Structures are given as structure tokens and as C-alpha cells.
Amino acid sequence: MKIALIGAGPRNLAILGRLLFTVNTKATYEIDLFDPQPIGGRVWDPFLTNNHAFLMNTYANQVTLFDDYELLDHETPIERPNLLTWAQTVAFDYLNDHPEYPDAYRNEVLTLISANTFASRGLFGVYAAWYFEEVQAACPKNIHIHFHQTEIIDMEKGARRFSLTGRDGFTSKYDRVVLAPGHIDNQPNKKQKELAAFAKRHSLAYFPASHPAENDFDKINENDQVLIEGLGLSFFDVILSLTGAKGGTFVTNNDGSLTYRPSGHEPHIVAGAFNGLPPRTKGVNQKESAQVYQPHFFTLKRMKEEASNNLGKISFEHFMKTLKQELTFKYLYNQVQLLKLDTGVSKASIISDLMHPERWSSINEKYGLHLDMSIDWDSLVFPAMEWPDAKTFQKNLHKHIENDIRSAKLGNDWSPLTGSYYILRDMRDTIRTLYNENYFFADGYEKMLTTFRAFDNQLSAGPPLVRMQQLLALMDAGILEIAGPGFKTSRGHSTFVATDRYGQHFEGTALIEARLSEINFNIAKSPLIQSLQKQRLIRKNDRLRKSDGSLLLGNTIKVDLKTLTVLDKNNQPVDGFFVSGIPLEGERWFNTVIPRPYVNTLIFEESKRLVEALQERHSHFHKLLQKKD
């Protein structure tokens, strides 16, 4: 059987690992892996200079590529180190044997010493390359693997097989094709085209949404004022490129805070977003690689029980109420753990009362405590929307970031606030099960993709702590200014302009959209995706509709969810053609994650289903064999 894996990112690498250890040992397999970027894929390219310094947003001990999902009992001939244990053991020798990798990674592995470290994105790329060598070396004799560093620009479906064409002229036919393209770029929209033309006319610099590490800001300097649209994860990458990469340094003060020492070559930066604030930072890591929070209220069992009394569904309101109850429990529990109690009062008895939400309001009185019982999770998400004017905004912004940093320093388990935010990550598996297994009503899906996504992203998907400290240092140094909510950018007379809801006005010689392209295959730049659309081999997902009748998931490719087989224009399975990962975002909950060891991680669960389907013979196999392609 000939198998093509298009994309050499974590997803197809996980599928490759799964294939090696589960395929029929009597058959022969030719597996070709394609990507224009090195093994590991575009996000993690170790040869991109920015990726030496840009950090992963996941702790190194919580990152792996070795499939553990139901493969635990199998005798596999390889070790399965996570990124951290790999960095602490074989990585240095591997890097010495591979002088093509920059010295930055040798230096990095010498310092990547604890579970509280974030690796650089490039180091994950090196880990991926090492993983690929390991699985190749352990590969059974009946499997042959080849990596082709090229983009697949076309695929045609024949009667029996699929013909692939590479940008480098490569062509070949395959029985099975798995497309896992990750975040792909889109064709520019009208506004982006106008901004690009405007920038050209006035010799300004414009950087539309894309992968942040691929931007080249070399030409931006101290004479520029830069407007940055977005305060999310890409924003943190961008500000590092405009400051540290311009020669400035962050100095650690005695109290652990940072001071920025400018080089003099930094532009002045004005950044903003619709809600005015960056997401909450991740706390100091106190968790082992597979240590996840065990909920008391928001359990799968309880949520399924609720559904069984409600036509098999859960209302979005019940989902949020129970989830917030769990967050509040953790918030109170952590406050109790941090208390120094008088003798005579035991933490155990307070916690036993905490297990009953109806007792929460009487706990302070009963034990003579001052626990903060007034937590309102909704108002924590976008607090700046309530700040009335620019002066209040600036005053509160600084305090907000300082408080966030202070809270994060108490740790991602023990801090009352940051520890509560983190359990949103730990409970993703339950959320994913409810979402993927159809437990919501149609309006619930719409609210999950809007209200809950904003809630989750803002509280649990922020940057490493050091990035937030750097942000504060840049604000204090006067290099970076954050504008109020409602930040909007456009064209002025001869410069870019930005405004916020307070009526502030900013001008810029450069405009950077600090975000990834929207996930929407309909407007993808990729020639392969465009060709598949033209042939009507892929189609919009029409499974769910919004309240106004439009498609809720129209930006995602429609697949049979059991097998991840693509469905064509007639809703018929394209046997042997699978799509995995980011193009299914929204159909599946929170796809944009890297595998975490030993926690039934999504990518491994998905790989298992896909590989099982991939090995099945089509029901009409005998008829197919008589056809020519």
C-alpha cells in the first residue's frame, strides 16, 4: 500500500508513529511524507532565526510526539522521552552529530533544566527531526518511509488511486492520502489588498496576518512608529522582534521584575485589540507532564447524567454554570491552601464544606475567614470594556498586568486565580468529548464558538510568564503603548492610523496584523486546496446552522467524523482520502494543540481512528482492482 502524508507537522508525525506500530506486518507499505518545510513543519522550523527565541506556549515536560494512546501495553523498541527529558538526555549529543543546527539550540539544551521551562519553537523542530530518525530506525522491514521537502500543489482522484504533484515536479500515485496542512495562509481580503497598495504608494511597511516567525522586521527602526493590531500570542512574538531583536536587553531586578535597556534602534509601538487587554499569563509550572486536575462538579459522568435527563443534550447555560462552579471551587480551595490558620480550625473541614456549593456563602462566618467569595468569572474576561476613559484605562491596565504577574508567580496549580485558569486546560478533554460527541443543541455550538471560545482563550491560552514581564518592562520603558478597547486600524492621509473607543488617534509608518490567518479553506492560498475545491472533492461543512440560518461551520472541510474520511460535493466519502487537524477546527473542539504525554491527548486519539480507517479495505475493493487509473 502506498500512503501519502501531506504536511510533516506534529499531526502527520503522530499518524506516522501510529502506523509503524500498528500496521499489518505481512503487507508492504511505502509511506511518503511531504512538506516544503523541514520535518516538524512550518511552525517549528529550527532554521528560522526567530524560532531560536520565540517560545512554545506549552511547558517542555507537557510536549511529546510519541503515541501513548492505548499503545501503552505494546512492546515498542523505542524510548519515548518528552521534549524536556529528551533535552536533558540525548539532545546535546544529537545536536553535536548534526552541525547543521545553529549553536543556539546547543546552548538552550544546556539550560533547559526544569519542568518550569518553555522550549524555543525551533528546539521542538529539532526534537521532531530526532523523533523522525528514531521511528525510521525502529521501522519494521515491511515499511519504507521517505521525506520529500516539497509542497503538494495538486491531487487528482483516479478510479483506484490518487495522483499527487509536487511543486518540484514530483508526481506519484497513492492508495491513501492524509492531508494535515495546519494553519495555512489565506488570499488577501479587500481591506488587506488596499492596505498593501497604500503601503506601497507611501513607502510604508505592512505585514498582513501570517505566521509570526516568518516576518522580517529588519527595515523597521527607531524612526518608525508601529501600529500592532492584536494583543494575543502573535503579538508577544512581534514585540520581541521589535525590541530584543533590535539589540535591547531585559535585565532582571532584585525583586524578579524586568527592566528594559533599549538599544536605541527600537520603533515606538502602539498596540491594541477590540477588548483592550492581552490574555492571562501562564503560571509558574507546578505540574508533572501528565498531571491534570480532577474535577468535582464538572465531570463527564455528571454532565452525561444531565444530558440523559434532557433529550441527550446539555444547554450551554448549564455547561457554563457547572464549569464556573468548578472554577470557583478551585479558586476557594487554593485560597484555603494558602491560609495560615489558627489552631482549632482544620483545612480539611473547610475543604469538606467547600465540596457543597450551597455552604459556600456561610464558610467565612463559620470559620472566621476572609475568603474572597465574590468572584465573577464573566467580568474577569474583558474587564477593560468597563473602564470609562483613557486615563482610567492606563491606570488600571498597569495594575491589571502587575496583578496577573503576581498571581502567575504563585503557580499554575496553587495560585487561586492562575491555578483556576489553568484547570480550563486540564478539563479540555471533557469539554472536547461533550463538544465532539454532539452533546450541545445547535445554539449551544454557536455559543461555544463565540462566547466560550473568548472566555477560554482569554483566561487559559496566554503567553509564558516571562513574556508578560517583558511586556510590562517595555511599557515602563516608554517603548510600548497599549491603546484602549475598540482598537481599529485603517489608512490615513499618508500614514496608517488607529483609533480606540476613547477617541484616541495614533499614526504609524508600519502596520502589523499580529494574528494567524483565519481558518477558512474557502479562501486558502494553497493551490492544492484550491484544486480540491474546483474538483469538488472537498466541500463546506453544512452539519450545523446558526440562528440566522447561515452555516456555522462553513469554513471547515466536511469529513465523516468517525473515520476523518473526506466527504465530496455529493456528501459521498472519498475513500482513502483523509483530512486531519486544523481544517476541522470548529467541527472538533480545540485542534490547535500539540500532544501531551499520557493524557489521552486529542492528536493520538484522532491518529488512532484515522489509522484504523486507513487500513481498512474499501467495501468495493474487488471492483476497484479491475479498474485502471
Please identify which residue in 526, 533, 555, 607 interacts with ligand FAD, judged by CB under 6 A.
Answer: 526
- 3-state SS, residue 246: helix
CB-nearer residue toward ligand FAD: 413 or 606: 606
Least distance between ligand FAD and beta carbon 539 (Å): 18
Stretch that binds ligand FAD, among 75-83, 85-93, 223-231, 587-595 (CB under 6 A): 587-595
In 3D, which of 357, 354, 404 has the Cα closest to residue 380? 404
Return the residues of window 295-324 that contact ligand FAD according to CB under 6 A: none
Please identify which residue in 22, 49, 57, 163 interacts with ligand FAD, judged by CB under 6 A.
Answer: 57
Return the residues of window 95-134 that contact ligand FAD according to CB under 6 A: none
Instruction: For residue 212, state whether it binds ligand FAD (rule: CB under 6 A).
Output: yes
In 3D, which of 590, 68, 598, 10 has the Cα closest to residue 292? 598
Stretch that binds ligand FAD, among 4-12, 168-176, 286-294, 616-624 (CB under 6 A): 4-12
Please identify which residue in 67, 108, 151, 224 interacts with ligand FAD, judged by CB under 6 A.
Answer: 151
Instruction: For residue 34, state whether it binds ligand FAD (rule: CB under 6 A).
Output: yes
Return the residues of window 593-612 that contact ligand FAD according to CB under 6 A: 593-594
CB-nearer residue toward ligand FAD: 211 or 501: 211
Instruction: For residue 184, state whether it binds ligand FAD (rule: CB under 6 A).
Output: yes
CB-nearer residue toward ligand FAD: 180 or 354: 180
Query: Whose CB is nearest to ligand FAD?
Result: 182
In 3D, which of 447, 477, 199 has the Cα closest to residue 316? 447
Instruction: For residue 60, state whether it binds ligand FAD (rule: CB under 6 A).
Output: no
Cβ atoms of 58 and 592 within 8 Å: the answer is no
Instruction: For residue 180, state whether it binds ligand FAD (rule: CB under 6 A).
Output: yes
Stretch that binds ligand FAD, among 36-44, 78-86, 195-203, 408-416 (CB under 6 A): 36-44
Please identify which residue in 9, 411, 463, 485 interacts with ligand FAD, judged by CB under 6 A.
Answer: 9
Least distance between ligand FAD and beta carbon 517 (Å): 9
Euclidean distance between CA atoms 489 and 522, whole angstroms: 25
Q: Looking only at Cα atoms, what is the longest distance across the chain?
A: 84
Amino acid at 83: L
Phi then psi dihedrals of residue 322, to 5 deg: -70, -40
Cβ atoms of 470 and 258 within 8 Å: the answer is yes
Instruction: For residue 56, state whether it binds ligand FAD (rule: CB under 6 A).
Output: yes
- The helix (H) or strand (E) run that includes residue 402 is helix 390-409
Least distance between ligand FAD and beta carbon 238 (Å): 11
Kindly state the DSSP code that residue 254 receives in the 8-state scheme: T
Please identify which residue in 508, 554, 581, 586 interacts with ligand FAD, judged by CB under 6 A.
Answer: 581
Cβ atoms of 161 and 629 within 8 Å: the answer is yes
- The helix (H) or strand (E) run that includes residue 354 is helix 347-354
Label each residue of 93-150 as H, E or C.
Answer: HHHHHCCCCCHHHHHHHHHCCCCCCCCEHHHHHHHHHHHHHHHHHCCCCCEEEEEECC
Instruction: For residue 35, state whether it binds ligand FAD (rule: CB under 6 A).
Output: yes
Distance, C-alpha 25 to centroid of its chain: 35
Instruction: For residue 41, state whether it binds ligand FAD (rule: CB under 6 A).
Output: yes
Instruction: For residue 58, state whether it binds ligand FAD (rule: CB under 6 A).
Output: yes
Least distance between ligand FAD and beta carbon 507 (Å): 29
Please identify which residue in 22, 36, 76, 615 interacts with ligand FAD, judged by CB under 6 A.
Answer: 36
Stretch that binds ligand FAD, among 5-13, 135-143, 471-479, 569-577 (CB under 6 A): 5-13
Cβ atoms of 235 and 512 within 8 Å: the answer is no
DSSP letters, 70-95, are TTTTS--SS----HHHHHHTTHHHHH
Instruction: For residue 585, state whether it binds ligand FAD (rule: CB under 6 A).
Output: no
| Residues in binding contact with ligand FAD, number by CB under 6 A | 34
Least distance between ligand FAD and beta carbon 148 (Å): 9
Please identify which residue in 83, 128, 434, 528 interacts with ligand FAD, judged by CB under 6 A.
Answer: 528
Label each residue of 281-327 as H, E or C.
Answer: CCCCCCCCCCCCCCCCCCCHHHHHHHHHCCCCCECHHHHHHHHHHHH
C-alpha distances in angstroms, 142 versus 23, 176, 599?
Answer: 9, 17, 31
Least distance between ligand FAD and beta carbon 121 (Å): 7
CB-nearer residue toward ligand FAD: 576 or 583: 583
Kindly state the DSSP code that residue 510 receives in the 8-state scheme: E
Using only C-alpha atoms, the chain has a radius of gyration, in whole angstroms, of 26
CB-nearer residue toward ligand FAD: 153 or 375: 153
Instruction: For residue 42, state whether it binds ligand FAD (rule: CB under 6 A).
Output: yes
Distance, C-alpha 340 to centroid of its chain: 38
Label each residue of 479-498 as H, E or C.
Answer: CEEECCCCCEEEECCCCEEE
Instruction: For residue 519, state whether it binds ligand FAD (rule: CB under 6 A).
Output: no
Instruction: For residue 432, state whether it binds ligand FAD (rule: CB under 6 A).
Output: no
Chain residues in the site for ligand FAD (CB under 6 A): 6-12, 34-37, 41-43, 56-58, 151-152, 180-184, 211-212, 516, 526, 528, 581-582, 592-594
